[in-house]
């Protein structure tokens, strides 16, 4: 067991140490085929990437934050110095109807244009040369990509920082270069090749994603009436076991509600709201774990002593348990926030509110199956 624990710690240390601090994966590029200078710097499209902004990764990240393990390779944080867009294929290629990269026979013709319309921070539109205005990454967010077509109900625009904005009637969605790519498409109306966005086609989510996303929601539907029934009958909440179970279910319901809100929100969440949701969810998760521990301890204590205490003793013991659970949960939350805001290596930070509103992990959808 000790050797297993040491192995896990070493693996965690190895995997987190390679990531570049303060640089999301989507802002990096693969530098494996680029020569290093004497000082260790590497030039990528005339941008110098110093050793401080380089790191070795053993995974690649795709649509919706899914990580795929690959051979260790060197990456550089180039998008910190100049904003990036991602091309689906090589500059001289385009995507065909099957989603494959093929040679663009019109790439060098007068019908091909490297210009694209962007939306500036002041809301005005500007036509720019995509290869001069941006650093271009290359790759697709998934194997199956499809073109996004503008309609009366929804349309797209490329923001000045390289983010793709999808405007729909109900809300707007934002895609980083991790979740979209650009490819030239022949425009019959304009008789030219123009750059259009492509993203992933989600037809049938895998069973594990479905369970992670909807199991909590279904659980909440049953938790709420259970709590109300316990609160409505004195026979159920009048003893210590009932009080402990109610407290556990309330903590679990609150934590599941926060995580469900994060997972089902498709639009952008503001930074303050993201932090509040992240730490509130973490607090109630910790509280649920501790309430479950107290509940188990109380069952063991009753079996061992085989006696019933009075109502007053129940109340005193319940308030003692409450002070212990909520206090320890609050302490854990404060320590987590302290770790996030401290100067320790970023790989040991929880990452709440940085990349998304929950603990930093390989999947956006968090699972609490152990509860």
pLDDT tens digits along 86-142: 999 988 888 877 677 888 765 555 556 788 999 998 889 999 999 999 999 999 998
Domain 84-200 is classified in which CATH homologous superfamily? Methuselah ectodomain, domain 2 (2.170.180.11)
Rg (Cα) of the chain, in Å, rounded? 26
Which pLDDT does position 158 carry in this prediction?
Answer: 92
Higher pLDDT, 129 or 237: 129
Q: Which letter, b or e, does each residue of 54-70 get, where b requires 16 or more Cβ atoms within 10 Å of its Cβ?
A: bbebebebbbebbeeee
| Other C-beta atoms lying within 10 Å of the C-beta of residue 367 | 16
CA distances, 256 to each of 28, 211, 214, 279, 369 (Å): 33, 13, 10, 13, 11
Of 26-30, 149-153, 288-292, the least confident: 149-153
Pairing of strands 115-119, 154-159: parallel
Question: The domain 15-76: what is its CATH number?
Answer: 2.30.160.11
- Residue 58's φ and ψ, nearest 5 degrees, are -115, 25
| Cα 307 → chain centroid | 49
Length of the chain counted residue by residue:
371
Distance CA 134, CA 87 (A): 11
pLDDT digits (tens, 9 = 90+) for 270-323: 778 888 888 999 999 999 999 999 988 888 887 666 555 444 566 788 888 889
| Other C-beta atoms lying within 10 Å of the C-beta of residue 182 | 23
Distance CA 251, CA 318 (A): 15
**Max Cα-Cα span within the chain:** 90
Distance CA 320, CA 243 (A): 12
Pairing of strands 29-30, 66-76: antiparallel
pLDDT digits (tens, 9 = 90+) for 55-79: 999 889 998 888 888 899 999 999 9
The DSSP result for 287-324, as a single string, is: HHHHHHHHHHHHHHHHHHH-----HHHHHHHHHHHHHH
Distance CA 59, CA 301 (A): 48
Report residue 3 as tokens: 């050797």
CA distances, 250 to each of 156, 228, 257 (Å): 42, 10, 10
Which pLDDT does position 170 carry in this prediction?
Answer: 60
Which pLDDT does position 11 carry in this prediction?
Answer: 47
pLDDT band per the 50, 70, 90 thresholds, residue 17: very low
Query: Interior CA angle at 264 toward 209 and 371, to 5°?
Result: 60
Report residue 1 as tokens: 């067991």
Residues 6+ apart with CB under 8 A from 286: 328, 329, 332, 333
The domain ranges of the chain are 15-76, 84-200, 207-348
Which pLDDT does position 228 carry in this prediction?
Answer: 93
CA distances, 313 to each of 30, 158, 239, 309, 310 (Å): 64, 65, 10, 6, 5
């Amino acid at each position: 067991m000790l050797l297993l624990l040491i192995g896990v710690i070493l693996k965690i240390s190895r995997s987190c140490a390679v990531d570049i601090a303060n640089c999301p994966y989507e802002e990096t590029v693969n530098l494996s085929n680029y020569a290093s200078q004497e000082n260790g710097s590497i030039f990528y499209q005339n941008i110098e990437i110093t050793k401080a902004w380089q790191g070795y990764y053993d995974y690649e990240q795709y649509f919706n934050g899914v990580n795929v393990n690959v051979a260790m390779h060197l990456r550089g944080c180039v998008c910190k110095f100049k904003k990036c867009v991602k091309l689906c294929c090589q500059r001289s290629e385009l995507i065909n109807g099957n989603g494959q990269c093929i040679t663009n026979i019109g790439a060098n013709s007068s019908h091909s244009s490297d210009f694209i319309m962007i939306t500036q921070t002041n809301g005005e539109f500007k036509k720019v040369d995509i290869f001069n205005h941006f650093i271009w990454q290359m790759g697709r967010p998934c194997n199956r990509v499809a073109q996004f077509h503008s309609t009366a109900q929804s349309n797209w625009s490329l923001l000045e920082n390289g983010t793709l904005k999808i405007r729909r009637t109900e809300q707007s969605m934002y895609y980083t270069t991790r979740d979209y790519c650009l490819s030239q498409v022949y425009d019959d109306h304009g008789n030219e090749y123009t750059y259009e966005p492509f993203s992933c086609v989600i037809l049938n989510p895998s069973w594990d994603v479905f369970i992670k996303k909807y199991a909590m929601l279904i659980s909440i539907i049953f938790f709420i009436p259970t709590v109300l029934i316990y609160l409505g009958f004195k026979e159920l909440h009048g003893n210590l076991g009932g009080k402990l179970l109610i407290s556990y279910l309330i903590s679990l319901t609150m934590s599941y509600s926060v995580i469900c809100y994060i997972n089902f929100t498709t639009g952008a969440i503001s930074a303050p709201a993201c932090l509040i949701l992240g730490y509130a969810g973490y607090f109630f998760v910790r509280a649920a774990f501790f309430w479950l521990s107290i509940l188990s301890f109380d069952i063991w204590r009753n079996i061992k002593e085989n006696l019933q205490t009075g109502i007053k003793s129940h109340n005193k013991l319940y308030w003692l348990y409450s002070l212990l659970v909520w206090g320890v949960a609050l302490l854990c939350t404060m320590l987590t926030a302290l770790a996030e805001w401290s100067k320790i290596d970023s790989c040991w930070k929880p990452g709440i509110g940085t990349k998304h509103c929950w603990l930093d992990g390989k999947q956006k959808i968090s699972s609490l199956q152990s509860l």
